[in-house]
Chain A
């Protein structure tokens, strides 16, 4: 289409007076400059606060830099990485993050899609539910974590409800102090908090599906499940890919909940890579070791998103 247009225009441009051609070139240059000027501040800030610190971290990972030290950092090669790969807690963290991501990605996107389908109808009061579902998202994760910390206690709200519903037959566990329930508890809370955000993305995807597809399907006498399976689901493809990638990255960088609720415990059952990096870098002052962890994390995220990009690529 674009090519066709420019071919159409080519002869016209040839007969134009040279001055006009020059002017259109100047206009284009000015537009380009304007574009760069608009990009400028954002790019500058990104470089200053994202790219430079990231690269700094990559460099520091191969030194013995500390947060506080009387000596200048020196190059120590792969020491930090050797130590990291020998650290049991690191492997625990890796497993925990994998567990978290494998459960959260399908669960959270599924719940979000379900909610999006529910609120993608034209009935009175639907805005009320949209707001309700979105409410946890606008609440700070720290606040949410603190609230759920109380709910998950041995004699907290959740166990109280379990006891009431089962007429006192079942007494819930001490959710966050039990190695087998701590991570599921955090998963449940995280999905509850973040699903609303992805619901909005699903919703925007749903609303781009042309209504005439559904009308045609209705004429053909298509049922609810078939309508979802053959119209809605295929049409959501770009949205789906976006959600897959964003939830995965969000899941891999699990930190806030852990920091507030469990500090990685009990017995490393909720420790994560980012939590380990923050702990090493700030509490333990080992800047270089924390940088090494961050570098490994970066490579990990890169690989995972690369694989996802490859699997969800446009096959044309």
Chain B
């Protein structure tokens, strides 16, 4: 018995030692070193395996680029969106990243800090791009997108008229009081259990994407943006607490469900809600269903101006790429107006440049969707450009859910601040 125990212990110790050294070399030096691109073929990873329209548009750009020159070939590999981030992170840990990757913009600083992305050096001029289509960190550009999306609220003109509510415009959005009284008037019509649907059943990145702009519109924020070292005061100050109480108040006053349906847009189109919080991506579907009765409303101004989240999927070049120049050339090629227009049309998104917008009837001046480009240009706030963002996002998501469930606003926010600050500290401030 005793010797058996000893043997087990000895084996465990040995294994720990081996395991420890393995771990040390496994996640050590961050840089890619993948070797992709060395033999004239560059691999490109994208998250849109489940989105046939976007994938086809990307593929057609790749085909055009391959045909336009004979030096390099780009090869597309598509992943389902749900597992895309995990695939990239594990590939990064195994030093097997491709040259070109698709990135959700808020993750760019984190990946740049981890040294998986290299700063872009493009021949294309990025100054005309929507600011939210360029991913920056530490004063350098690491990614660029062909499109963005914009949050907005949809309603039926007939409902707003019946409730005697002013239809807000991009120049004059609802104030907080107007928004609250609009909800009260709509509720009084008795047509809906809950007149407002903010998509509270959403999970993951939806929570910070959709609700941190409301917090910012109150004057709070996810973190102090002067040096990104603490969330104290921004996420738990008076304005943040006021936001949390207002947000929970929407539930307690019966304006909105604590947990909405699985598909808010569908519920709205089926007449289950009067106002739905969604975005440019749902515009086509809603317009087809409602025609002229649909009104696209700007988000309300809750004190510090109307805000929406900026930044969608973008492209970056990894540090291990053996032919960075070709990768940069490809990105510049993608940014040509006709290419931007092609992808934006296929995905129903806002084109990154004015030149591309001019090629798309819906986004040209006074086009049906031009209002989204307007929202994006004037309201968009980037999610905090810090490597701590993925952590902040999950903490904020949980805090939002706790607040919706009736948790004490101040203590929920204090807890989030403490966790975020601890995380920043334990990573030495995420300094580069």
Contact = CB atoms under 8 A, between A and B. Distances in A.
B45 interface: no
A72 B405 contact: no
B22 to A, nearest CB: 7
B168 interface: no
A265 B113 contact: no
Nearest to B116: A68
Given A284-B390, A285-B390, A72 B15 contact: no
Given A88-B415, A179-B405, A265-B405, A69 B203 contact: no
Interface string A277-295: 0010011111100000000
Interface stretch (A54-62, A197-205, A248-256, A302-310): A54-62
Interface in B380-399: 390-391, 394-395, 398
A69 to B, nearest CB: 6
Interface in B71-129: 86, 89, 92-93, 110-111, 113-116
B27 interface: yes
Nearest to A76: B426
Nearest to B411: A88
Sorting the interface of chain A by its residue count into under 10, 10 to 19, 20 to 34 or 35 or more gives 35 or more
Given A59-B20, A283-B390, A266 B402 contact: yes
Contact of B401 (A56, A263, A283, A286): A263
Contact of B405 (A58, A68, A83, A177): A177
B332 interface: no
A52 interface: yes
B24 A73 contact: yes
Contacts of A67: 27, 89, 93
Contacts of B110: 68, 285
A51 interface: yes
A55 B259 contact: no
Contacts of B432: 70
A85 to B, nearest CB: 14
Contacts of B405: 177, 179, 265-267
B406 interface: yes
Interface in A11-25: none
Interface in B174-194: none
B402 A68 contact: no
B15 A52 contact: yes
Nearest to B428: A71
Interface in A39-79: 51-52, 55-56, 58-60, 63-73, 79
Given A52-B19, A59-B19, A83-B422, A267 B402 contact: yes
B59 interface: no
Most buried by B among A51, A83, A285: A285
A266 B401 CA distance: 7
A174 interface: yes
A70 B93 CA distance: 11
A268 B432 CA distance: 35
B394 A174 contact: no
A66 B427 contact: yes
Interface string B257-273: 11100000000000000
Interface in B22-59: 22-24, 27-30
A196 interface: no
B27 A69 contact: yes
Given A55-B15, A266-B405, A279-B394, A68 B111 contact: yes
Contacts of A154: 257
Nearest to A75: B20
B-side interface mostly? helix
Nearest to B404: A266
Contacts of B401: 263, 265-266
A111 B153 CA distance: 49
B407 interface: yes
Interface string B1-32: 00000000000100110011011100111100
Contact of B16 (A55, A266, A287): A55
A72 to B, nearest CB: 4
B423 interface: yes
A174 B23 contact: no
A280 to B, nearest CB: 9
Contact of A68 (B15, B114, B415): B114
Contacts of B114: 68-70
A25 B24 CA distance: 47
B113 A177 contact: no
B28 A72 contact: yes
Most buried by B among A55, A56, A66, A286: A55
Contacts of B111: 68
Contacts of A177: 258-259, 405
Contacts of B116: 68
Contacts of A71: 30
A229 B61 CA distance: 75
B270 to A, nearest CB: 13
Nearest to A74: B24
A177 B404 CA distance: 10
Given A264-B398, A265-B405, A267-B402, A285 B16 contact: no
B113 A70 contact: yes
B388 to A, nearest CB: 10
A70 B423 contact: no
Contacts of A70: 30, 113-115, 432
A282 B89 CA distance: 10
B203 A263 contact: yes
Nearest to B110: A68
B423 to A, nearest CB: 7
Interface of A: 51-52, 55-56, 58-60, 63-73, 79, 83, 88, 154, 174, 176-177, 179, 263-268, 279, 282-287
29 contacts: A52-B15, A52-B19, A56-B19, A56-B20, A56-B22, A59-B20, A64-B426, A65-B23, A66-B27, A66-B427, A67-B27, A68-B93, A68-B116, A69-B114, A70-B113, A72-B28, A88-B415, A174-B258, A263-B203, A265-B402, A265-B405, A266-B401, A266-B402, A266-B406, A267-B407, A279-B394, A284-B390, A284-B395, A285-B391
| Interchain residue pairs A-B with the least CB separation, the first 7 | A266-B405, A68-B114, A70-B30, A72-B28, A56-B19, A59-B20, A55-B15
Given A70-B30, A266-B406, A284-B423, 18 more contacts: A56-B19, A56-B20, A58-B16, A59-B16, A66-B27, A67-B89, A68-B89, A68-B110, A70-B114, A70-B115, A71-B30, A83-B422, A88-B415, A264-B398, A266-B401, A266-B402, A282-B86, A285-B110
Interface of B: 12, 15-16, 19-20, 22-24, 27-30, 86, 89, 92-93, 110-111, 113-116, 203, 257-259, 390-391, 394-395, 398, 401-402, 404-407, 415, 422-423, 426-427, 432
